[in-house]
C-alpha cells in the first residue's frame, strides 16, 4: 500500500508468454497489493505462466480486443477494492519499475491520472521506437493539444495510473473495444476535468514487444482524429456524444460479463 491506499496493477495480456515473468519480476511487490491479468484469448502459455506466478487471472473465451481487455481489467480492479489502478503492458515495453512513483502521485492526491510518457526526455527514439511511429505520435499529439485545448507530451502511451474515482466516473463502456479506447479514455479524462501528470518513461522496443501493424496504425490515427473532433463539438455544444456524457454507461461488473477470476 501507499499512504493506506490499495495499489492494484492490471496487465492486459495477449500472447505475452515470453515477457510476462520478466514484467512481474520488475514490479515492486512491497508496494503492489494486487496484480490482475486479463488474457484476451491468447494462443500461447500466457495463462499457464500467470497461474504459476500466482497472480489473479481473468480469461476471455474469445478475442475481444485491447479496449475490451482494459474494461475487464478496470472492472475487476474496482470489484477487488483497488484505490489506485496502474496499467502495465506485460510485453515489457514500458518500465515496471516506475509503478511506485506513479502510484504515490495518485495516492497522495496530487493527480488523478499519471501517464508514463515516452516522449519526455529521449526515451522513445533511444528505446527503438520506429521513426514513422515517432513522427505520427508527435503529429497526432500536437493536433490533439490544439483541438482539445490541453497540453500533454504524449496522448498515446499505454502506461497509465488512475484513481478509483476516475474509473468510477468515466463512461468507459461507451468506448471502443479496439486500440482507440486508450485515446478516447484520455479525452474523457480531460473532458471531465481530472488532473493529469506525466513522468518520463524509458521504453524497450524488442521482437517480443507488442505492436499494431501499419493498417491498424492508420485506423487508430483516424480514430484519434475522430475523438478529437467529437471532443470539440461536444465542448462547443454543437453535438452530444455518449463517450462524453455523464449519463453514459459506466464499467460493467465482471460478473455481468460472464467473467470469473481464476
- What's the maximum distance between 2 C-alpha atoms anywhere in the chain? 53
pLDDT value of position 255: 52
Tell me if the pTM is above 0.85: yes
For 33, the 3-state DSSP assignment is coil
To 10 degrees, what angle do helices 181-191 and 66-79 make?
A: 50
What's the CATH architecture for 7-133+151-172+189-211? Alpha-Beta Complex (3.90)
Neighbours of 198 (CB within 10 A): 18
Neighbours of 68 (CB within 10 A): 20
Terminal-residue alpha carbon distance, the chain: 23
To 10 degrees, what angle do helices 214-235 and 131-148 make?
A: 10
Q: What pLDDT, in 10s, does the model give residues 53-86? A: 999 999 999 999 999 999 999 999 999 999 999 9
Quote the percentage of the chain above a pLDDT of 70.
91
Q: What pLDDT, in 10s, does the model give residues 122-180? A: 666 666 677 877 888 899 999 999 999 999 999 999 999 999 999 999 999 999 999 99
Q: How far, in Å, CA of 208 to CA of 95, rounded?
A: 14
Q: Does 237 have pLDDT greater than 70?
A: yes
Torsion-angle region of 205 (φ positive above 0: left; ψ -120 to 50: alpha; else: beta): beta
Number of helical (H) and strand (E) elements in the chain, helices listed first? 9, 7
Amino acid at each position: 500500500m501507499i499512504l493506506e491506499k490499495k495499489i492494484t496493477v492490471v496487465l492486459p495480456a495477449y500472447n505475452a508468454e515470453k515477457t510476462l515473468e520478466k514484467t512481474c519480476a520488475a514490479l515492486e511487490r512491497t508496494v503492489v497489493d494486487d496484480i490482475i491479468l486479463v488474457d484476451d484469448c491468447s494462443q500461447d502459455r500466457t495463462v499457464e505462466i500467470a497461474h504459476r506466478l500466482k497472480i489473479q487471472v481473468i480469461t476471455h473465451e474469445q478475442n475481444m480486443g485491447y479496449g475490451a481487455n482494459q474494461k475487464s481489467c478496470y472492472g475487476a480492479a474496482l470489484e477487488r477494492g483497488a484505490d489506485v489502478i496502474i496499467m502495465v503492458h506485460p510485453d515489457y515495453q514500458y518500465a515496471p519499475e516506475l509503478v511506485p512513483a506513479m502510484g504515490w502521485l495518485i495516492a497522495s492526491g496530487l493527480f488523478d491520472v499519471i501517464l508514463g510518457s515516452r516522449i519526455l526526455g529521449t526515451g522513445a527514439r533511444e528505446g527503438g521506437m520506429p521513426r514513422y511511429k515517432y513522427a505520427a505520435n508527435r503529429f497526432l499529439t500536437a493536433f490533439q493539444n490544439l483541438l482539445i485545448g490541453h497540453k500533454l507530451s504524449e496522448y498515446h502511451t499505454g502506461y497509465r495510473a488512475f484513481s478509483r474515482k476516475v474509473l468510477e466516473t468515466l463512461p468507459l463502456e461507451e468506448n471502443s473495444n479496439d486500440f482507440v479506447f486508450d485515446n478516447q479514455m484520455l479525452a474523457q479524462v480531460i473532458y471531465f476535468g481530472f488532473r493529469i501528470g506525466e513522468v518520463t518513461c524509458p521504453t524497450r522496443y524488442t521482437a517480443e514487444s507488442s505492436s499494431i501493424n501499419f493498417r491498424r496504425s492508420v485506423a487508430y490515427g483516424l480514430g484519434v482524429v475522430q475523438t478529437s473532433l467529437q471532443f470539440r463539438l461536444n465542448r462547443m455544444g454543437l453535438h452530444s456524444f455518449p463517450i462524453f456524457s455523464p449519463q453514459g454507461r459506466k464499467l460493467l461488473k465482471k460478473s455481468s460479463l460472464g467473467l470469473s477470476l481464476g
